[in-house]
Structure 1
Amino acid sequence: MTDLPDPKTARELKGSTGLRRIINAAGYSMQGFRTAFRTEPAFRQLVLLNLVLLPIACWVDVSPAERALLLMTPLLSLTIELLNSSIEHVVDRISLELHPLSKSAKDMGSAAQFLGLVIIAVCWGVILI
């Protein structure tokens, strides 16, 4: 059995509640976007891909459901990249030593991103071709 912190203590460590917590969370999210953009080339490439695909998704003549898919799939890939980068950072924080479990974690994050790109290609291909 693991020793988990008392829920009350965990809440106290997090700090604010209510509107202040929401504002703080938004600020942390913006810091995460800035860090990803500054430190992760793959994230910058996906931002560029989104800057190309999202306007096209708004411009093409498709149904509202199809437009939603065209808009969501590139954004999903950005989300996957943020999670993949987070996994890589945590693994590197724990140890830079080569270890099979570290490699597996990083490889699985990369595989998730690959599937995200496949989802983009399939959705865009099926809808536009």
Structure 2
Amino acid sequence: MSGWRSREIRSFRSACAGIAETLRGERHMRFHLVSACIVAVLAIWLRIPRSDILWLLLAIAFVFTAELINTAIERTVDRISSDIHPLAKAAKDAAAGAVLVAVIFAAAVGAIVIGPPLWRVCFQ
């Protein structure tokens, strides 16, 4: 049992290290984190219902996950070869496209969930 527990703890620490490394090394991930914090503050301030907060959390998790996968793909491609290759470019572009899809989804969720209450507070 202790061997299993120690492996799980190492896996958890490695996952946390991967997130921390991505935050340190990727400007876009830091931007996503700041954006998520702003959304959280707005959700609390506007007293967004719990069911809508779940949508916000889903959107934030989707963006973070896409950015982590994008970073993993970019670094793997860079590690394999420093040569410019059409397939390497296609892989990196597709991974970046996944982040873009996630960000568009998150922006739409934010506009739907936070937009109307924010509009009421600011303009009525």
Q: TM tier, shorter chain?
A: 0.7 to 0.9
> Is 1:35 paired with 2:21?
yes
Greater fraction helix: 2
| Aligned equivalent of 1:78 | 64
Matched, 1:112 2:98: yes
Q: Which runs of 4+ in 1 moved over 4 A?
A: none
1:20 paired to 2:20: no
| Structure 1 vs Structure 2 CA RMSD | 1.6
**1:69 is aligned to 2:69:** no
- How many correspondences in the alignment? 114
- Partner in structure 2 of residue 94 of structure 1: 80
Matches of 2:91 and 2:3 in 1, distance apart?
A: 34
TM-score norm. by structure 2 comes to 0.83
Q: Which runs of 5+ in 2 are unaligned?
A: 117-124
Question: Highest relative contact order (Cα 8 Å, sep 6+), 1 or 2?
Answer: 2
- State how far apart, in whole Å, the 2-side matches of 1:98 and 1:55 are: 43
Aligned-partner Cα distance in 2 for 1:123–1:36? 24
Q: 1:17 Cα deviation (Å)?
A: 4.2
**Structure 1 residue 79: deviation in Å?**
1.3
TM-score, normalization by structure 1: 0.80
C-alpha distance after superposition, 1:22-45 (max 9, x if no partner): 111111012112211111111111
Matched, 1:52 2:38: yes
Identity %: 27
